[in-house]
Amino acid sequence: MELRPFPLDPVRGRAALQRDLRIDEHEEGSVGQEAAGCHEVELEDTVDAEVAGDALVGERRVDVPVADDVPSVAERRSDHTVDELGARGREQRSLRPAAHLEPVQQETPDLLPQRRPARLARRHDLPALLAQRLREELGLRGLPGPVQTFEGDEHRRRTIRRVRAVVTGGAGFIGSHVVEALLARGDEVHVLDDLSAGKRENVPDGARLHEGDIREDAERVFSEGRPEVCFHLAAQVDVRVSVERPDHDANVNVIGTLHVLEAARRHGTKVVFSSTGGAIYGECEGPAREDHPRRPLAPYGVSKLAGEEYIAAYSRLYGGGHVSLRYGNVFGPRQDPHGEAGVVAIFMSRLRDGETPRIFGDGTQTRDYVFVGDVVAATLAAAAHEGAVFNVGTGSETSVLDLYERIQRVAGIEREPEFADARPGELRRSVLDPSLAQRELGWKAKRSLDEGLAETWAWISGD
Ligand code: NAD
């Protein structure tokens, strides 16, 4: 197994950097707390998976189809990581690829409404060429992965570079945790969210919320934020809505993703796209690898798959090394108990409120439950990787009956669930093979199911 060391070492000598950056020790010590500037910073224990977990502390408080979420193998990779993420350079000029592009952009209309068959025009190369030049000039490295390698603490103290990031869907469940983890690194974070499902109060202090729609406002937010990386989580996430209104689902998840990709192309931004394992693979006979046949049942899976294909196509056309992550069934604090997905949140909130949880079918259907802190760790680690598709799951499947038993134990409440008819189209088995992410990203889910459940219960119950 190849264990990739963190791409965290300073590229150049520390003293030289300090000179260039004109920072002293005092400044360096506090820089993690500042609004993002242009400095290299040291953070202790803030960029591993724990951070995501630690960041969960606080904030507050989910019947159940377990219908939530669902390959192509890694599209492409190389080890010249996405250095354009590399962070702060020494000259403001160098950090503003958009400034170099302005004359071209003025001549370049919004391409979405009049998309033609793809042909790599000369001016489309500019962001990639510029990013390449910035790499060469600044010797930038990729966004440091937040994940520890498995051997212990040798990377506990690391030098990291901060980035400017846009998080779409950053007021939602997973997105808000991504925002927190970025802020903990000292990154500058812009959130683009229309608050259709997300909540203003989910956006942590320190991040700038741009209330808007990815289909209309991506370019504006990218122009303001000039992000080196975009974590694209905004989506229509409800499988049932996708069945009832497939046009709406495709509009948000496909057209919306295209708008994000167009903005990213113009600004030389790397995109990490939140896709889904369960909804894309369909029925699994065992842990599904990324090259498992893709058999989405619902329009939601189709639109996510389309998003992945655009992500990959843009990487081929324009470079950028965008990454798609296929999450398993994510659970943790801040998951909405009122949505369709999120069986953990639904069971727990019912137990808390004295209600009876309902299990659809016989409860033997299985899912791959992965804690949100671990998902955040994978998401940040992916930002430093070059163009691929990764499963983000545990590799273990848990039946709904088993899950409910565990939740009762964690909550200290015993209550007989009620059973309802199985929902049509619901998968029997869904589990993801995470070994590619382990090899390529050095990522592995660290929380056991019971640990994650305990943390989630603490949040839901207000303990
Ligand atoms: P969520 O609903 O909490 O977050 C989605 C956010 O996107 C919300 O804040 C919502 O307001 C925002 N949004 C929706 N449409 C928008 C638009 N047009 N413009 C701007 N913002 C918009 O859902 P989540 O569970 O946090 O999911 C985040 C991402 O992860 C989604 O892309 C989802 O498909 C993916 N995913 C989630 C799971 C899971 O188990 N939760 C599993 C697989 C994949």
Transcribe 291-344 into DSSP letters.
Answer: TS-----SHHHHHHHHHHHHHHHHHHHH----EEEEE-EEE-TT--TTSSS-HH
Say if residue 83 is in the same domain as residue 205: no
Pocket test for ligand 1, best of 64, 237, 260 (most atoms within 8 A of CB): 237
pLDDT higher than threshold 90 for residue 126: no
Say if residue 24 is in the same domain as residue 114: no
Q: Average of pLDDT values for 390-399?
A: 98
Pocket test for ligand 1, best of 174, 281, 371 (most atoms within 8 A of CB): 174
pLDDT higher than threshold 50 for residue 29: no
pLDDT at 249: 98
Structure tokens that stand for 288 in this block? 């599904």
pLDDT band at 160 (very low <50, low <70, confident <90, very high): low
Percent of residues, the chain, with pLDDT higher than 90: 62
pLDDT at 340: 64
Counted domains in the chain:
3
Computed over every residue of the chain, the mean pLDDT equals: 75
DSSP-derived letter for residue 288 is B
pLDDT tens digits along 205-218: 999 999 999 999 99
pLDDT at 424: 81
Say if residue 322 is in the same domain as residue 368: yes
Say if residue 128 is in the same domain as residue 200: no
Question: Are 361 and 422 in contact, with CB atoms under 8 Å apart?
Answer: yes
Q: Average of pLDDT values for 258-277?
A: 98
Is the model more confident about 145 or about 163?
163
Q: Average of pLDDT values for 303-323?
A: 97
Verify whether ligand 1 is closer than 6 Å to residue 408 (CB atom): no
pLDDT at 339: 66
The position carrying tokens 């998951």 is 335
Helix%, strand%, coil% for the chain, nearest 5: 40, 15, 45
Say if residue 117 is in the same domain as residue 242: no
Q: Tell which residue, 410, 404, 302, has the closest CA to residue 358.
A: 404
Question: Are 10 and 42 in contact, with CB atoms under 8 Å apart?
Answer: no
From 39, 65, 89, give the residue that closes a domain.
89
pLDDT higher than threshold 70 for residue 267: yes
From 89, 119, 145, give the residue that closes a domain.
89
State the pTM of this model: 0.74
User: Is residue 265 in some structural domain?
Assistant: yes
User: Is residue 95 in some structural domain?
Assistant: no
Please give the Cα distance from 55 to 313 (Å, whole number).
34
Structure tokens that stand for 21 in this block? 């950056």
Q: Average of pLDDT values for 417-444?
A: 94
Active site residues: 300
For residue 164, give Cα distances in angstroms to 39, 84, 315, 331, 439: 12, 11, 20, 27, 27
Pocket test for ligand 1, best of 200, 209, 233 (most atoms within 8 A of CB): 233
- Do strands 388-392 and 270-276 pair parallel, antiparallel, or not at all (unpaired)? unpaired
User: Is residue 193 in some structural domain?
Assistant: yes
Percent of residues, the chain, with pLDDT higher than 70: 65
Please give the Cα distance from 370 to 123 (Å, whole number).
42
Q: Average of pLDDT values for 358-363?
A: 96
Bridge partners of 391, per DSSP, are: 326
Is the model more confident about 119 or about 235?
235
Q: Average of pLDDT values for 315-323?
A: 96
CB atoms within 10 A of CB 88: 25
pLDDT higher than threshold 80 for residue 433: yes
Please give the Cα distance from 21 to 89 (Å, whole number).
8
Q: Average of pLDDT values for 118-140?
A: 41
pLDDT higher than threshold 70 for residue 186: yes
Q: Average of pLDDT values for 286-298?
A: 95
Say if residue 153 is in the same domain as residue 254: no
Q: Average of pLDDT values for 131-152?
A: 38
Please give the Cα distance from 231 to 52 (Å, whole number).
15
User: Please, is 120 exposed, middle or buried when counting C-beta atoms within 10 Å of its C-beta (0-12, 13-18, 19+)?
Assistant: exposed
Please give the Cα distance from 300 to 281 (Å, whole number).
12
pLDDT tens digits along 49-104: 333 333 222 232 323 334 444 333 333 333 333 333 333 333 333 333 333 333 33
**Angle subtended at Cα 84 by Cα 304 and Cα 227, rounded to the nearest 5 degrees:** 65
Is the model more confident about 247 or about 135?
247
Looking from the CA of residue 329, the nearest atom of ligand 1 is 40
Verify whether ligand 1 is closer than 6 Å to residue 196 (CB atom): yes
Please give the Cα distance from 194 to 256 (Å, whole number).
12
pLDDT higher than threshold 50 for residue 390: yes
User: Is residue 195 in some structural domain?
Assistant: yes
Verify whether ligand 1 is closer than 6 Å to residue 194 (CB atom): yes
pLDDT higher than threshold 70 for residue 150: no
Q: Which residues contact 155 (CB under 8 A, 6 or more apart)?
A: 5, 6, 8, 48, 148, 149
Is the model more confident about 38 or about 453?
453
Q: Tell which residue, 262, 248, 244, 214, has the closest CA to residue 115.
A: 262
- The parent domain of residue 211 ranges over 164-461
- Do strands 157-161 and 40-44 pair parallel, antiparallel, or not at all (unpaired)? antiparallel
Say if residue 190 is in the same domain as residue 290: yes
Verify whether ligand 1 is closer than 6 Å to residue 330 (CB atom): yes
pLDDT band at 121 (very low <50, low <70, confident <90, very high): very low
Distance 253 CA to ligand 1 centre (A): 10
pLDDT higher than threshold 60 for residue 261: yes
pLDDT at 446: 97
Verify whether ligand 1 is closer than 6 Å to residue 327 (CB atom): yes
Say if residue 170 is in the same domain as residue 147: no
Looking from the CA of residue 256, the nearest atom of ligand 1 is 18
Verify whether ligand 1 is closer than 6 Å to residue 256 (CB atom): yes
- Lowest mean pLDDT segment, chosen from 205-214, 247-256, 297-306, 340-349: 340-349
pLDDT at 358: 95
Say if residue 128 is in the same domain as residue 252: no
Say if residue 399 is in the same domain as residue 347: yes
pLDDT at 423: 87
pLDDT higher than threshold 80 for residue 44: no
Verify whether ligand 1 is closer than 6 Å to residue 173 (CB atom): yes
Say if residue 227 is in the same domain as residue 330: yes
Q: Average of pLDDT values for 218-234?
A: 98
Say if residue 235 is in the same domain as residue 297: yes
Q: Average of pLDDT values for 302-331?
A: 97
pLDDT at 425: 80
